[in-house]
Amino acid sequence: MKGAPQGSARSGWHKLIKPLLLLLAAVIVLALVVHNLKSPAVGTINQTPPDKAETKDPYAQPMSQSGAYISYTYPAHYRKIDSQLNGSLLQVDNFYATDHSQKQISIGVSREELNSDTGFNLRKHDSSTYTQEPMTRSGAYIFSSTANGAEKTAFVSHNGYVASISLTAPSGWDLEPDLQTILSSLKWNV
């Protein structure tokens, strides 16, 4: 009879040892995971510094734009964005600078005489906001303003059509070079 109780005690320990070993293994694995998460990463990362990285700007060169009414070259570092015709405009092209300068270009063509163009008349008569610059050799009327940042707008008329070229940017930007890129290349297709 003495043998019976000892056998049942051994089988009880055997039943208990297996779960205890599994629990101990789980605690050890968890401790190793926590330890590895708290320790610094080991290894090497090779990365080219930003000033030495080769970047390709798809807008780094001036590009040509051709529409039904006018064709021209627009300056480097501008991306053409979607434009909708509205009002009396026959051709509309909009561009946004890709160099984080926030410069914008908006070009529109309408069928009217220059003296009927409301944008032209507004700028011509509001001398407290707009300064009229001397007419260019190509016959463009140019107005500039610093009332709401930098603005330069040119109006070019041709056979009953008016092209308006408006450049805007935050204060302090010289928009003249960008405007001249467009004006010097402007060709009428009508």
> Which residues of the chain are modeled with pLDDT < 50?
1
The answer to whether 75 and 60 are in contact (CB under 8 A) is no
Q: What pLDDT, on a 0 to 100 scale, did the predictor assign at position 61?
A: 95
Structural contact between residues 73 and 62, judged by C-beta atoms closer than 8 angstroms: yes
**105 in Cβ contact with 78 (< 8 Å):** yes
User: Where do the structural domains in the chain lie, given as residue ranges?
Assistant: 1-46, 63-188
Number of Cβ within 10 Å of residue 164's Cβ equals: 20
Closest Cα partner for 140 from 70, 57, 39, 56? 70
Which region holds residue 103: left if phi is over 0, alpha if psi is between -120 and 50, else beta? beta
Helical (H) or strand (E) element with 79: strand 78-81
160: region left, alpha or beta (phi > 0 left; psi from -120 to 50 alpha): left
Is 101 in contact with 169 (CB distance < 8 Å)?
yes
**CATH number for the segment(s) 63-188:** 3.40.1000.10
**Res 50: pLDDT:** 66
**β-strand 70-74 against 104-111: which pairing, if any?**
unpaired
In this prediction, residue 26 carries a pLDDT of 82
pLDDT value at residue 20: 78
| Per-residue model confidence (pLDDT) at position 142 | 97
How much is the pTM?
0.71
pLDDT score recorded for residue 13: 63
